[in-house]
Amino acid sequence: MSKYDVAIIGSGPGGYVAAIRCAQLGMKTAIIEKYSTLGGTCLNVGCIPSKALLDSSHHYEDAVKHFEEHGIDIPGEIKVNLKQMIARKQSVVDQTTGGIDFLMKKNKIDVYVGVGSFKDATHITITGEETTEIEAKNTIIATGSKPSTLPFIKLDKERVITSTEALKLKEIPKHLIVIGGGVIGLELGQVYKRLGAEVTVVEYMDRILPTMDSGISKELNKVLKKQKFKINTSHKVKSVERKGDEVIVKADNKKGEEVTFIGDYVLVSVGRHAYTEGLNVEAAGVKLTERGKVEVNEHLQTSTSNIYAIGDVIKGAMLAHKSEEEGVFVAETLAGQKPHIDYNLIPGIVYTWPEVASVGKTEEQLKEAGVDYKVGQFPMRALGRSRASMDLDGFVKILADKSTDEILGVHMVGARAADMIAEAVVAMEYRASAEDVSRMSHAHPTFTEAIKEAALAANDRALHI
């Protein structure tokens, strides 16, 4: 029987990063993955393939709607080749997962393909093409999450689908109904909207992106409506029925009236739930919460001291980069170091266009906590760079402490917001004030000038509005 210092169950961003850091720190490491490719949801059926389709569909939309204005004339009809688009997406996935294979070999990490199941706290049975047992001094559970549904919805994975199926459709929907106005629903909704589908979003809460700053929700709602999305908030879905190639969704609006939506595809994107199936955690004495997540303490240690858990399977935001930070955190804890994660400074991003990005506290959270704050906001359309690229929608908003000027939250909608948010994370990690950021030189013309201007605006000194 092979013996390891640490075994990681699950090879998503949390799991494979934990494995690499453990190996770097001199531990004999194994990683267990039930699928034939490494990388978990993120690399195979999540972050990476969805961004590939978002990029491809964005190019198509630019060609159809904006090239002429730029002085680019394309003779004949511009057509979508969905088969090629999906094939390109898959090649991006294959290259990326292949990169993880390389990293495992480079770091001398043993890879086991099969379902990892606890026999006891130090032994794991791996059931794949054959059954293997290994011994691990420590184990990290990194089994991730799966798409959630509603109890009355039957997912047939043909017409009533999750994000996994939406990434490999054989045709462009005529009318895609998206249940859930969160990150995944809006991103995939935008992919198919660009390609010609009619898209209707049905959201239970009173706004899209309900967990983000309300100013962001309002701005993106306005932009998506301009893009001809049909957005229905405060709608409680009560039935989803497929009849042949048609899907009928019934919901109650905020007045309690029944509303019917008819489309040819329904994307159910109502969040995700922790995935622990087959782990047999009971055998290792690992406790789960009422909601099925693995219970952990501040060291990410489970109820069994030599077993840790990270990523989507535990509490907190279900984000690949949060999982990675936790993977490094546990590896360094096992090595006797004293790592730290500030969960307030893990950014959240929506890869629609314009992009949405956020870090720190929202206005709602600051009001609820009774914090005195000030707001500096700057519109993207006031930037020369935005006019040059015709990306005029959105803004950057900085929330700062009224007395100390420390930055408490940064929220943005706009071109390249996903990349720009890193500046806000760095500033907040070093407890910068709005004035600190406003006094740093920002290259001109760039989108990041909006951050400088918002910081100036927090002290009533914006230059370009």
Active site amino acids: 444
Cβ(459)–Cβ(438) under 8 Å?
A: yes
Q: How far is CA 278 from CA 26, 239, 281, 297, in A?
A: 30, 31, 8, 23
Helices (H), 25-149: 40-45, 47-65, 82-106
Q: Give the residue from 259, 265, 217 showing the smallest Cα distance to 235.
A: 259
**Angstrom distance (rounded) from CA 25 to CA 15:** 15
**Angstrom distance (rounded) from CA 167 to CA 49:** 7
∠ CA(321), CA(38), CA(50), 5° rounding? 55
The secondary structure element, H or E, covering residue 17 is: helix 13-24
Q: Give the residue from 146, 226, 230 showing the smallest Cα distance to 181.
A: 230
Q: How far is CA 141 from CA 167, 257, 286, 296, in A?
A: 27, 45, 10, 11
∠ CA(217), CA(247), CA(190), 5° rounding? 35
| Letter string b/e over residues 81-95, b meaning 16 or more CB atoms within 10 A of that residue's CB | ebeebbeebeebbee
Q: Which phi and psi angles does 100 have, rounded to 5°?
A: -70, -40
